[in-house]
Amino acid sequence: MPEKDALVAIHGARGPRDVVITTMCAARDWMTLPQQPLDLVFVPSAMGHATSVGLGLALAQPDRRVIVCNGDGSMLMNLGSLVSIAGAGARNLVVALFDNGVYEVTGSQPTPAPGCVDFAAIARGAGFESVFEFSHLESWQTNVHRTLTCPGPTFIWLRVEPAVGVPGPRSPGPAGERARRFRDALRS
Amino acid sequence: MFTGPQIAELLEQLGVTHVVTVPDSTIGPWQAAIEQRERTRLVRVCREGEAWEVAAGLHLGGASPLVMIQCTGLFESGDAIRNVLHDWKLPVFAIIGYRSYLNQDTLPGDTCLVFTEPVLDAWKIDYHILTKPEQFGSIAEHFSACRAASTPGAIIVAEGGA
């Protein structure tokens, strides 16, 4: 399925109190959609760490759902975070993995084993409570609400097509200032 | 040098809500005492870079986290430290074990002694090294000073072997 269409489904399904963290290609596409104060565009990032930021937010805000839109290259850099998430019992955390098999922002070089990694099995093995996988947009659109409201931690593996030749995300502004605005939004 | 109950009680008094950690043989035994506190939660992660970013999320979410790792994990944490402390400018505080500082019985010639302080300096972390039990009070002093200034900081605890 086209990765932006898959992301649009989450954009339409997220609740007004939900935190949504996006990184890499997901961040680029998310920034083309209407923004909310509880959006955390994780650009600049540390490699692969969007899931870890999500875990911290989920623990600090247990009454909110935290949705992390991550890429497969990023996920491979921080697979251990799935174990940390499950071990911490972050039931309000959703990891949506956009798997396009490439490092898209650097020019679509393949990840180490594209098409060979069973991310659903990894998430189950790490201890995630709910695990889903979707390859077809219609099926994903039909089920997005259901998957986001299942007992967590939740892992959603979305097989998407890379957007060839599209530049990577650009920071939407100084991160320190965005951090302050985000914290204020959580308090209000 | 310090006991688990000493550290756990202090962290709770300082208002630390979460200790995000990967253990070593000195700071690891503190975990049991931290887990017994009511207002401080232990968060175990798989690798030290994760610890800084989990702490970042906790801080953004309104909590008061602390990272507790060994200096070897500090070396692993570079990209995360750059991102959390300098990109996002989050004042995360850490307690970091300084391997082989007190003796090198198990690791003669341990290169942790060569690289720990230059790495802390490179990441512009305001740190105090504690080498004696009598310096326990420095933890609260430095933590409170960093909190008041809303800046990152670290206490480096001298350790023996690995």
The pLDDT tens digits for B87-112 are 999 999 999 999 999 999 899 999 99
**H or E stretch at A155:** strand A154-159
Beta-carbon count within 10 A of A160 CB:
26
State the residue for tokens 């430095």.
B142
Contacts with A, B 52-111, CB within 8 Å: 52-63, 65, 79-80, 82-84, 87-90
State the pLDDT at residue A101. Answer: 94
Q: Tens digits of per-residue pLDDT, B29-70?
A: 999 999 999 999 999 999 999 999 999 999 999 999 999 999
Q: What are the tokens at B57? A: 């999320």
Of B43, B88, B89, the CB nearest to A88: B43
Domain count, chain A: 1
Is the ipTM higher than 0.85? The answer is yes
Mean pLDDT of A61-84: 97
State the pLDDT at residue A34. Answer: 97
Q: Does A40 touch chain B (CB under 8 A)?
A: yes
Residue B162 reports pLDDT greater than 70: no
- Domain of residue A146, CATH code: 3.40.50.970
Contact B125, B98 (CB under 8 A): no
Of B44, B57, B79, the CB nearest to A46: B79
Residue A164 reports pLDDT greater than 90: no
Q: Do B45 and A78 touch (CB under 8 A)?
A: no
State the pLDDT at residue B47. Answer: 97
Mutation target to probe the B interface, by most B beta carbons within 10 A, among A42, A53, A66, A181 is A53
CATH dotted code for B4-158: 3.40.50.970
Which residues are within 8 A (CB) of B7 and not within 5 positions of it... i.e. 6 or more apart?
Answer: B30, B33, B34, B95
Contacts with A, B 8-37, CB within 8 Å: 17-18, 20
Residues of the domain holding A10? 3-187
Residue A118 reports pLDDT greater than 80: yes
Mutation target to probe the A interface, by most A beta carbons within 10 A, among B87, B89, B123 is B87
d(CA A85, CA A94): 10
Average pLDDT score, chain B: 97
Average pLDDT score, chain A: 96
Mutation target to probe the B interface, by most B beta carbons within 10 A, among A59, A177, A186 is A59
B47 contact residues in A (CB cutoff 8 A): 78, 80
State the pLDDT at residue A117. Answer: 97
Contacts with B, A 41-70, CB within 8 Å: 44-47, 49, 52-61
Residue B27 reports pLDDT greater than 70: yes
pLDDT tier at B161, thresholds 50, 70, 90: low
Residue B84 reports pLDDT greater than 80: yes
First CA to last CA distance, chain A: 36
d(CA A65, CA B122): 37
Which residues are within 8 A (CB) of B141 and not within 5 positions of it... i.e. 6 or more apart?
Answer: none
Mean pLDDT of B117-142: 98
